[in-house]
Chains A and B, each alone.
Chain A
Amino acid sequence: MGEAAIKAVKEIGYTNAGTIEFLVDENEQFYFLEMNTRIQVEHAITEEITGLDIVKMQIDIANGEKLRLDQNDLEIQGHSIEVRIYAEDPVTFFPSPGEITVYEEPAAKYIRVESSIEQGSKITPFYDPMISKLIATGNNRNEAISRLNDALQNYKIEGIKTNIPMLKEVIHHEHFISGNTTTDFVEEHYLPIVK
């Protein structure tokens, strides 16, 4: 997939950061889905497993600088998982705007929280209900999941509803733990439990 992505980038004369999305079937055959010509919400997990700052690289490229790394310099270090925290009902997925009366982020070396909120912040109904991203990294997937679990237990958001209860369910689900997560996971495995 990596080489196919590079081929695509070169064909279209792409510059700066981008993401090529693929659908991958059971036989690991992959198919181009679409390209996002921007930074992605989930760029942070890539930063965690490569030690790079993608925003900095975007700025360097925009300055006309050459990439400082060669493909051979890159390798995957560990495993990183991101969950998106939405201000919404964890069962109906309806938005839940309001004032955040209590806000405490989990703090640990291998935990990263990206947000723009604090105690007293108001979540308005005007924009996407995603209010923060919680990222946990470990030496391997199991360690990342266990750190994510601890962090979710220690993430306190009160005054509004969030999908944190849903995320706790998901990361404890046997199919998630075994890595068996296809795009119909929520309909197949989560909704039947809570509805």
Chain B
Amino acid sequence: MINKLLVANRGEIAARIIRTCKENDIKTVAIYSEADARSLFVKMADESYLIGPPRVSESYLNTDKVLEIAKQTKVDAVHPGYGFLSENGSFADKCEQAGITFIGPSSNVIEQMGDKISARKLMEKAGVPVIPGTKGEVSDAEAAIKEAEHIGYPIMVKASAGGGGIGMQIVHTAQELLKAFESNSQRAEQFFGDGSMFMEKLLVNSRHIEVQVLADTHGNAIHLFERECSIQRRNQKVVEEAPSSFISKETRKKNG
């Protein structure tokens, strides 16, 4: 039973999680960096601990420090929110090893879906349509140019480990592809320690529509319909709405 929970995040989402905990008599522990000492979520939590300097690597991404505070404060669970440690499989694993529940899926599922090439393969296997593109990893720029002829330009070049708009680029010609492949692979290697690349056909005039799912540990799963998040700037969402005004009832329900 979760009676005390550490929120491994900051800002509005930390405040949001603490609110639900208060409504359900769950004690909360907040962690904060020096830059956030006066943020509201720090005051809202039952206990708050300074975790380090503003830099995320020394504060919100410092897994050892987060775990140390979780153990000291004897929490039952850690809620990672979004961003920071939320999709860090090894952190989820370390929590479980310390006997602390990580609120999210298992570490191996986090890793499988975090790797975009492996996620693509799993979806194909499940019979979920994927964007026309390469089967798996593309070994080098030369191979990319060959495959691009089959896919057809414009193409989205993507890093398997990419995220937040890093490691992806639209290309219209083989020349652009040559450059983009190398530079994005290098960036992905730098940022994520993995330069594996793949390609997908660019879908023009497409909409970004996502489905919220929830699954329990007994094999039951439901979806809470869709959200449309088409208005973005620099690949970051700005306006989101639910339901989508674009898709029909049939599409909303559909299997694939």
Q: Which A residues are within 8 Å of any B CB, using their own CB? A: 1-26, 28-46, 48-50, 52-59, 61-67, 69-71, 74, 76, 79-84, 86, 93, 114-118, 120-122, 124, 126-128, 130-133, 141, 144, 163, 166-167, 170-171, 176, 179, 181-186
Contact = CB atoms under 8 A, between A and B. Distances in A.
Interface in B32-72: 33, 35-36, 38-41, 54-56
A61 B80 CA distance: 15
B103 interface: yes
B207 A66 contact: no
A2 B252 contact: yes
Given A6-B213, A116-B10, A38 B86 contact: yes
A30 B238 CA distance: 22
B215 interface: yes
Interface in B98-126: 101, 103-106, 109-110, 112-114, 116, 119-120, 122-123, 125-126
Interface residues of B, number: 104
A8 B123 contact: yes
**Interface of A: prevailing SS:** mixed
B238 A126 contact: no
A39 B223 CA distance: 14
Given A8-B128, A40-B82, A116-B14, A22 B241 contact: no
A56 B20 CA distance: 6
A181 B231 contact: yes
A120 B26 CA distance: 29
A185 B238 CA distance: 11
A13 B109 contact: yes
A49 to B, nearest CB: 5
Contacts of B255: 3-4, 7
B120 to A, nearest CB: 7
A2 B253 contact: yes
A127 B203 CA distance: 31
B42 to A, nearest CB: 8
B231 A117 contact: no
B241 A3 contact: no
Given A18-B213, A66-B220, A37 B110 contact: yes
26 contacts: A1-B211, A1-B252, A3-B253, A11-B125, A14-B213, A16-B103, A16-B105, A19-B211, A20-B210, A23-B203, A24-B206, A26-B206, A32-B131, A41-B237, A45-B227, A46-B242, A49-B242, A53-B20, A59-B2, A61-B214, A63-B1, A65-B216, A116-B39, A121-B40, A141-B241, A167-B239
B101 A62 contact: yes
A139 to B, nearest CB: 13
B222 A183 contact: no
B74 interface: no
Contacts of A115: 11-12, 15, 40
B212 A46 contact: yes
Contacts of B83: 128
Contacts of B105: 14-16, 18, 37
